[in-house]
Structures are given as structure tokens and as C-alpha cells.
């Protein structure tokens, strides 16, 4: 039985807590000790039946636990490294969780702190960085690369050889053609079809995707 502490008390944490029974049935037994969150209004409350244990800076109180990175969303994906750094933890303290209904090639590599949701496909020779979240029904095909801290929403599809930079957010149902590079800190809008490279720190959307604005 591995003890877990979840960093971030939001929707992603709720999803992960719902996985624990299925993970146990697959032979991966976890006990959730509780959650850490910096929202003062959540202090000393319960979340999905589990205790809020304190702020992110309290992570050091749990030297024997593994941690789950449940941070990030469309409004905060560029700050995930900054947020998680408040725990003071090394990356190797973060558990990578792959839902039993996901398919990950044995030739793919996943960094620490990743979450791979049910019905995700990760193909051969794919390299996924640290603290990457891949939501349900997303597909990442052969030889693609996903940089640290990025988030792929549900039903995202990456063709072969796509490169996604760090701190990116790919909106639900977006499609990226093979060989395209999405620059660091960029956002791809929901349902977009990306046919050419996306500059760093840029928002693109549409079919075909066009630049909406640079990001400060």
C-alpha cells in the first residue's frame, strides 16, 4: 500500500480519487492521506471524503508519502512549475499514475508526476515530460514529444512526430498534424485543427488554426 498526498484540491484531484479502486483492482494499491491546497477557504475542510491537510508548503510533513500533481488548467497551466515548487519537493517524489483503461506503449516513456486518464492512447517512441496531464480519449501517436507541465484535454489527437513544448494547453478535441511544433506556453483552442507550427506564448484557434493573440 503506497501512501499518496494529492497536490491541488480541484477537478483533477476528484478524478484521481475516483481511480483508486480501479488501480487497486489492477494491482496498484494506494491510500490517500489527504490533499494540500493553498486556497485559504479550503483550510480544515473535506474534499471528496478526504481531509485538507494544509498548504503546499506542508508537503515536508509527509516524508514517506508519494505525491500526485493535480494542478493546472486553462487559466493556470503556465504557472504549474511555480505552484508545485511551493511544495519544496524533488520531481522524483511525484507518482505517475496511468489509469488501467489507458493504453501506453512499452516503448513510450513518461516522466515523473504524469497523469494518464482512461481511454488515452500513447504510441511507440513517444516521450512525455514531467508533470504532464493527458485527459480521457486523447491520442498521442508515434515519436511525438510532450514537454514538461503541459496539459492535453479530452479528445486531443496528435499525429506522429508532433512536438508540444513546455507549459502548453491543448483544448478539448484539438487536432495537430504530423511534424508540427507547438511552442512553449502556447494554448490551442477547443476543436482547432493545427496545420503549421505555433510560435511560443501564442493562442491559436479555428480550422485551420490561426493566431488570435500573443501571450504576455
Nearest to 138 by CA among 158, 124, 123: 158
Q: Residue 84's CB: how many other CB atoms inside 10 A?
A: 24
Residue 19 sits at the vertex; the CA angle it makes with 16 and 21, to the nearest 5 degrees, is: 140
pLDDT in tens, 69-119: 999 999 999 999 999 999 999 999 999 999 999 999 999 999 999 999 999
**Domains in the chain, please, with CATH?**
2-93 (3.40.50.20), 97-205 (2.160.10.10)
Are the CB atoms for 105 and 127 separated by under 8 Å?
no
* pLDDT band (50, 70, 90) for residue 176: very high
pTM above 0.85, yes or no: yes
Question: pLDDT value at position 41?
Answer: 84
| Averaged pLDDT for residues 15-19 | 97
* pLDDT band (50, 70, 90) for residue 132: very high
DSSP result, the chain: -EEEEEE--SHHHHHHHHHHHHHHHTT--EEEEEEE---GGGTT-EETTEEEEE-GGGGGG-TT-EEEE----TTTGGGHHHHHHTT---GGGBPPEE-TT-EE-TT-EE-TT-EE-TT-EE-TT-EE-TT-EE-TT-EE-TT-EE-TT-EE-TT-EE-TT-EE-TT-EE-TT-EE-TT-EE-TT-EE-TT-EE-S-B-TTEEEETTTTEEEEE--
Question: pLDDT value at position 43?
Answer: 82
Are the CB atoms for 68 and 6 separated by under 8 Å?
yes
Query: 20-40 b/e with 16+ CB inside 10 Å = b?
Result: beebeeeeeebebbbbbbeee
Question: pLDDT value at position 215?
Answer: 59
| Residue 18 pLDDT > 80 | yes
Are the CB atoms for 37 and 9 separated by under 8 Å?
yes
Are the CB atoms for 177 and 163 separated by under 8 Å?
no
Extract the C-alpha cell encoding 3: 501512501
Amino acid at each position: 500500500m503506497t501512501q499518496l498526498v494529492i497536490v491541488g484540491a480541484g477537478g483533477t484531484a476528484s478524478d484521481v480519487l475516483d481511480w483508486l479502486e480501479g488501480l487497486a483492482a489492477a494491482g496498484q494499491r494506494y491510500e490517500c492521506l489527504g490533499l494540500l491546497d493553498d486556497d485559504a477557504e479550503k483550510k480544515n475542510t473535506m474534499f471528496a471524503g478526504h481531509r485538507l491537510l494544509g498548504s503546499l508548503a506542508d508537503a515536508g510533513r509527509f516524508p514517506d508519502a508519494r505525491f500526485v500533481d493535480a494542478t493546472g488548467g486553462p487559466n493556470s497551466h503556465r504557472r504549474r512549475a511555480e505552484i508545485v515548487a511551493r511544495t519544496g519537493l524533488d520531481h522524483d517524489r511525484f507518482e505517475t499514475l496511468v489509469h488501467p483503461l489507458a493504453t501506453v506503449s512499452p516503448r513510450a516513456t513518461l516522466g515523473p508526476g504524469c497523469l494518464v486518464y482512461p481511454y488515452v492512447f500513447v504510441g511507440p517512441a513517444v516521450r512525455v515530460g514531467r508533470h504532464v496531464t493527458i485527459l480521457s480519449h486523447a491520442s498521442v501517436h508515434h515519436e511525438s514529444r510532450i514537454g514538461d507541465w503541459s496539459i492535453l484535454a479530452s479528445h486531443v489527437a496528435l499525429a506522429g512526430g508532433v512536438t508540444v513544448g513546455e507549459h502548453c494547453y491543448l483544448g478539448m478535441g484539438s487536432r495537430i498534424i504530423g511534424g508540427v511544433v507547438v511552442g512553449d506556453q502556447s494554448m490551442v483552442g477547443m476543436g482547432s485543427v493545427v496545420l503549421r507550427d505555433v510560435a511560443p506564448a501564442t493562442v491559436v484557434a479555428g480550422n485551420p488554426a490561426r493566431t488570435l493573440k500573443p501571450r504576455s
